[in-house]
Amino acid sequence: MIRILIKLFAVFVFGVFVLSVSAQGIHGQGIEILQEDISEMSDRLDKVETKSILDRVIVGGEFRTRVDYFRYEDTTASLDPTTIGAEHDSNTKDIWTNRLRFNLEADITDNLAFYAWLTYFKLWGEAAFDRTPLDINYTSIPDSEGGIHIERAYFEYVLPDLNLCLTAGRLPTTEGPPGELRENRARKATWGKMQGDLELDGIIVNLFLDEWIDLNQLAIRFIYSKVSQNWLEYRGFDMKDTRVPALVIESEIPRIENSVLQIGYTMVVDFPLIIYDIPGMEVANLPNEEGKLDFLFFHIQMNDINKDGLDWFFSYGHFNTNPPSEGIVFTNGYEIGMFGDNLSGNLGQDRSGYAIYSGVRYKLPIESWKYPKVGFEYTHASKYWLGGFTSSGSGELINKLHVIGDTYELYYIQPLDKKHTFLRIGGIFMESDYENPFVIFGTMSKSEMTVLNGYLLMDVLF
């Protein structure tokens, strides 16, 4: 508005000046001089307005270079001749990746802000990598193309009088607690890592209750997301939309500072039919109902216990799956459903599975080494656990929360300066008890696969 008034005033002065110089016979020269003055004034106003906007925008980023070593052994075929797979060992000496993120934060008004992550995640050079990109994990799996993808893009609208905050867009649902411990940075997400470490589009309504109830950081979060919207037919079959409503209650643990307590519930209505192209097999029929999932989640975390540099966390998740009695039917008569098929005779049975995820991290009191950190994490998952659906892996080539069995990870973080650069070296050992090549569809088969993963990475934050 001020800019418009200034320009109107300048036009008024210009008109008065034209009339004046016309009467004195110097009309042409006066107009040229005044036009130059007005143009210069307009340029200055544009620069001031642009600077005012940029002052409200914060741009940052992070760059990671990582190398992984894998030792893979699989003796599954010796357990059961009908099991998919064969006895073999495999070594991969080194797999290199780069990951770049641009982080954008814009304070638009006092109660409206916008945030975004643009992510580039690439294998070095050309690579034959078995990549299965879905919308929920696209930026979590490296590729050999090197495209930039939107990992997050959402706004937050605060209604302080109602203690409400509305979040909508591509949500902050990746790398939640306790992921910030091994990532060595501040917490970056709303959901706990086990409940939902995925890239989701949706809406979150945050209701803050700590002013009404004597619990620090007490909030109730209502989430609504759609994993798939099938407004077109798929291969001639109608498919239902997959809706994901969820609820999370979060607070600090009473009388314990720097702690997190989360209890959550997620429902997946009409689970998406992930249909793989199987050589020589085409889909003959799809069920009218896709099935439903219920997921309960609990997370407790204490940071810097007694100010001694010790962090600890424990997460628990429990799945219930309710499949339809009919499954995906192929032209050869093979029919598969959620955790079952017609050959094994267990098609359409309800299942339940659970997992625990726990760990510690300790900041070593060595000032001359810039206070390095050492951590250990353990995960155990039962037969019908669905970690591959709730977790994308957040940049790991193998998602340890998906392993049905036991995983162990030991890591060491060495800062190179106070807050911008650090190294992390670690090792992960995974023992698989069961394996399903189609994640959730088909029968779970016994497995004796083991994977040893050693890695070294360097993060630069700017």
What's the pLDDT tens digit per position in 141-184?
Answer: 888 777 888 999 999 999 998 999 999 999 999 889 999 999 99
pLDDT digits (tens, 9 = 90+) for 328-351: 888 888 888 888 888 888 888 999
Rounded distance between C-alpha atoms, residue 428 and residue 94, angstroms: 15
CB 292 within 8 A of CB 319: no
Q: Which of 1-15, 142-156, 298-312 has the highest mean pLDDT?
A: 298-312
Q: Which element (helix H / strand E) includes 351? A: strand 351-363
pTM above 0.75, yes or no: yes
- Rg of the Cα atoms in the chain: 28
Predicted confidence band of residue 275 (pLDDT cuts 50, 70, 90): low
pLDDT digits (tens, 9 = 90+) for 345-386: 888 899 999 999 999 999 999 999 999 999 999 999 999 998
Predicted confidence band of residue 1 (pLDDT cuts 50, 70, 90): very low
* Per-residue model confidence (pLDDT) at position 294: 94
pLDDT digits (tens, 9 = 90+) for 417-438: 988 999 999 999 999 999 876 6
Is the pLDDT at 388 greater than 60? The verdict is yes
Residue 334: φ, ψ to 5°: -75, 130
In this predicted model, which residue has the larger pLDDT, 453 or 143? Answer: 453
* Per-residue model confidence (pLDDT) at position 170: 95
Encoded tokens for 253: 């643990």
Question: The dihedral of CA 124, 126, 129, 135: what is its sign?
Answer: positive
Count CB neighbours of 147 within 10 A.
11
* Per-residue model confidence (pLDDT) at position 398: 81
Pairing mode of beta strands 283-285, 242-251: unpaired
Burial status of residue 168 (CB atoms within 10 A of its CB: 0-12, 13-18, 19 or more): middle
Rounded distance between C-alpha atoms, residue 230 and residue 237, angstroms: 10
- The closest alpha carbon to 202, from 162, 166, 165, 252, belongs to 166
Q: What's the Cα-to-Cα distance from 18 to each of 5, 24, 41, 358, rounded to whole Å?
A: 20, 10, 18, 79
Pairing mode of beta strands 310-322, 292-305: antiparallel
Q: Residues of 225-239 as b/e, b for ≥16 C-beta within 10 angstroms? A: bebbeeeeeeeeeeb
- The closest alpha carbon to 99, from 67, 121, 69, 70, belongs to 121
Is the pLDDT at 27 greater than 60? The verdict is no
Q: Which element (helix H / strand E) includes 21? A: helix 2-24
* Per-residue model confidence (pLDDT) at position 83: 37
Return mean pLDDT, the chain. Answer: 83
Predicted confidence band of residue 242 (pLDDT cuts 50, 70, 90): confident
- Specify the DSSP class assigned to residue 441: B
